[in-house]
Amino acid sequence: MDADTGLPSQSQNGQYLLLRHRDTPSIGELEVYRRLGGFEAWQKVITSMQPGQVTDVVKTSGLRGRGGAGFPTGMKWAFIDNKNWPHYVVANADESEPGTFKDREIMEGNPFQFLEGVAICAYAIQANAAYVYLRGEFWQLAAWLDRKIAEMEAAGLLGEKLFGTDYSLHIYTHLGAGAYICGEETAMLESIEGKLGQPRLRPPFPPSYGLFGKPTVVNNVETLTNVPLIIEHGAEWYRSLGTEKSAGVKIFSLSGCVERPGNYELPLGTTFRELIFTHGGGITGDRQVKAIMAAGASSALIVANEEALDTPMDYESVPRVGAQLGSASVIVIDDSVSIPWLINKTMHFFKHESCGKCTPCREGTFWMMHLTERIVEGSATLEDVELLQDVANQVKGKCLCALGDFSTEAVLTGIERFRPDFELAVAGSAVAN
Amino acid sequence: MFAEKYSDEIQAILSKYPPEQRRAAVMPLIYLAQREQMYVTKQAMVEIAEILGISSTDVASIVGFYTLYYDKVGSTYRVQVCTDLPCALRGAEQFLEGLCNNLGIRVGETTPDGAVMVEAVMCLAACDKAPMFQVQSGDGLSYHENQTVESAASLVAELRRKAQSKRRDGHGR
Ligand SMILES: Cc1cc2nc3c(=O)[nH]c(=O)nc-3n(C[C@H](O)[C@H](O)[C@H](O)COP(=O)(O)O)c2cc1C
Ligand code: SF4
Ligand code: FES
């Protein structure tokens, strides 16, 4: 049962698989984690499996990246270039998308399962070093992980010649310093290398040209935290959770105008309605849900009608209502919220976070922020709304990395799907003039 | 100065990266240089550059790129309130305004004793616990969640006392 709600919200037979500290609060202690079977998967892969077999199991499990793009994890590991050495693993703990707060809870509450996932990934691609890149604000969390890593070293779970084999592995933390763009995997690699955190031109992709120019797998924290379970219980078991094309469990970060915001670990394919109303306790106050953003500030705005509420949250279904699941950071917006105000908020974010490397994104986010500002202030006309739409269309698809496109999602879908809100804002200015 | 004073810690940082990739240590070294005064001096940038075999302009551009690094003297503490979308939907903007009114300063300003600056920042990955803020000082960052204006104001008062005793102990601002 869920401690907060008393509801059976866990992913598997009432047991958490990722947020296991909610069942066992002391699971962040090494002996407790080990007593519950922790690091058996780690020992098993090193002592009894070939690296390629590990990758195959993850491939068969159907696990897809939880950082946003949903790329099949095992396939990514299989892309690693075995003609170029050494290899690296980078765990993406940048977690800076507005509305996303799941990786932080995993690392705080269940750090060893995450670190075990990092280790298994490293073994699968035969990397001897892995870096955990945390956003700079996770300063205390980095110190906590450093202690957990030291405990693993002291217990012979990390270091040289592990379990009597020739395989060695070290895990290091690396702190960012306040830049959303460093969550983009190639900007992250540049940042670790001590350069400006700006994305690289791709291809080549990290599995052939990654950290220090060497083959690298970059995976999200939540993605990696699934891996020990898959090794322990098998690919078939994992596939049996979730939907056919979206296997497994997912942590949904629920925020905004709901009674009980928080992280909810549920099977992929759970509906928006169940998340928001059953688990999240419904909309705060006397309000109705008006819109939903499923992937944080980078989302298209979903019109929250009955059809949308009944849509399963998985990688295939969310596009049917004109959006993406992304990192599953579900922001709930009630009917008191003005969409132009909301879009202006997102534009502040993207303008602040554009790394400035390409012109359409740098200039476009600047203009979109100012235009939305004018609309919110009530000094705009309908032509300004058209102009805003034009600018967004000029940014979309013309940028080096996905941030540029992200910045246009709420703008374009907001104007298209919530036009009356814009007309109202503009009419307000007609009255004021 | 910097290099001598922190030589052990600098060695520990360098050992995390491949020897031929020393430059990768630049971010942790900047944090180290910022520890006492919450800004990186020109002198420290030169020393970091020397340790890593890069130019001090390179170091300065890294300091300039990231928001948690500073190249000027500022307040002892920075109270950084998240007013990004999810927090704003839960009253973070009113919270920030209330806090600033309580302290008699505007957003972006510092208390008259130079101890605490209050500013608005982007999402801090605590959206379910709004209103929330982080406190940054040279030696770390801490999160404060589910806040009220009263709880925040009393924390700021405590920070101001701490800043005063820090200054008395000669740690500068
Ligand atoms: C602007 C931008 C920000 C991103 N931020 C994050 C992030 O904070 N965390 C994350 O895991 N992935 C983030 N990503 C996605 C990563 O580039 C990458 O796809 C992911 O880390 C791959 O891991 P996965 O396959 O396990 O999801 C971001 C992408 C972009 C374009
Ligand atoms: S799209 Fe924006 S964030 Fe991405 S590289 Fe270009 S300027 Fe930087
Ligand atoms: S929006 Fe404030 S912590 Fe995420």
Query: What string of pLDDT tens digits covers the 433 residues of chain A?
Result: 344 434 444 555 678 999 999 999 999 999 999 999 999 999 999 999 999 999 999 999 999 999 999 999 999 999 999 999 999 999 999 999 999 999 999 999 999 999 999 999 999 999 999 999 999 999 999 999 999 999 999 999 999 999 999 999 999 999 999 999 999 999 999 999 999 999 999 999 999 999 999 999 999 999 999 999 999 999 999 999 999 889 999 999 999 999 999 999 999 999 999 999 999 999 999 899 999 999 999 999 999 999 999 999 999 999 999 999 999 999 999 999 999 999 999 999 999 999 999 999 999 999 999 999 999 999 999 999 999 999 999 999 999 999 999 999 999 999 999 999 999 999 866 554 4
CB contact under 8 A, B126 and A104: yes
The three-state secondary structure class of B120 is: strand
One-letter-per-residue 3-state SS of A99-162:
CCCHHHHHHHHCHHHHHHHHHHHHHHCCCCEEEEEECHHHHHHHHHHHHHHHHHHHCCCCECCH
- Are B158 and B144 in contact by the 8 Å Cβ rule? The answer is no
* Residue A381 Cα to ligand 3 middle (Å): 31
Decide which of 3.40.30.10, 2.60.120.260, 3.40.50.720, 3.80.30.20 is the CATH code for B77-168: 3.40.30.10
Nearest CA in chain B to A334: B89
Residues of chain B with CATH 1.10.10.1590: 2-65
Count CB atoms within 10 A of the CB of residue A178: 20
Q: What domains, with CATH codes, occur in chain A?
A: 20-239 (3.40.50.11540), 249-334 (3.10.20.600), 339-432 (1.20.1440.230)
| pLDDT, average across residues B65-93 | 97
Cα–Cα distances (Å) from A73 to A59, A79, A277, A292, A310, in that order, read 7, 10, 31, 27, 28
- Are A196 and A155 in contact by the 8 Å Cβ rule? The answer is no
Q: Are strands A249-256 and A262-267 parallel, antiparallel or unpaired?
A: antiparallel
The CA angle A417-A421-A426, to the nearest 5 degrees, is 125
Strand residue runs (E) in A221-300: 249-256, 262-267, 289-293
Q: Are strands B140-144 and B116-121 parallel, antiparallel or unpaired?
A: unpaired
Amino acid symbol at A127: A
* Distance separating alpha carbons of residues A301 and A348, to the nearest angstrom: 17
A353, A357, A394: residue to mutate for ligand 2 pocket, most atoms within 8 A of CB: A357
CB contact under 8 A, A101 and B61: no
* Residue A162 Cα to ligand 3 middle (Å): 41
Residues of chain B with CATH 3.40.30.10: 77-168
How many CA atoms, within 13 angstroms, populate the side-chain half-sphere of residue B89? 38
Query: Angle of helix A111-124 relative to helix A221-233, nearest 10 degrees?
Result: 80
ipTM of the complex: 0.96
Token duo for residue A344? 């202006």
Give A-chain residues touching B18 at CB under 8 angstroms.
Answer: 129, 212
Which residue's CA is the closest to the ligand 1 atom numbered 5? A183
> CATH fold of B2-65, please?
Arc Repressor Mutant, subunit A (1.10.10)
Index of the ligand 3 atom closest to the CA of residue B130 = 2
Which residues on chain B place their C-beta less than 8 Å from a C-beta of chain A?
Answer: 16, 18, 21, 23-28, 30-31, 52, 54, 61-62, 65-69, 84-86, 88-90, 122-128, 134, 140-143
Amino acid symbol at B120: A
* Residue A206 Cα to ligand 3 middle (Å): 30
Q: Per-residue confidence at B167, pLDDT binned at 50, 70, 90?
A: confident
Global pTM?
0.96
- Are A232 and A41 in contact by the 8 Å Cβ rule? The answer is yes
Instruction: Classify residue B25 by its DSSP letter.
Output: G
CB contact under 8 A, B128 and A261: yes
- Are A315 and A245 in contact by the 8 Å Cβ rule? The answer is yes
How close A32 gets to chain B, by Cα (Å)? Answer: 27
| pLDDT, average across residues B143-163 | 97
How big is chain A by its Cα radius of gyration, in Å?
Answer: 22
Q: Which of A172, A177, A337 sits opposite B69 (nearest CB)?
A: A177
CA-closest candidate to residue A57, choices A75, A79, A36, A71: A75
Cα–Cα distances (Å) from A168 to A43, A126, A159, in that order, read 13, 9, 6
- The number of helix segments (H) and strand segments (E) in chain A equals 17, 9
Q: How is the beta sheet containing A88-93 ordered, strand by strand?
A: A170-175, A129-134, A88-93, A216-220
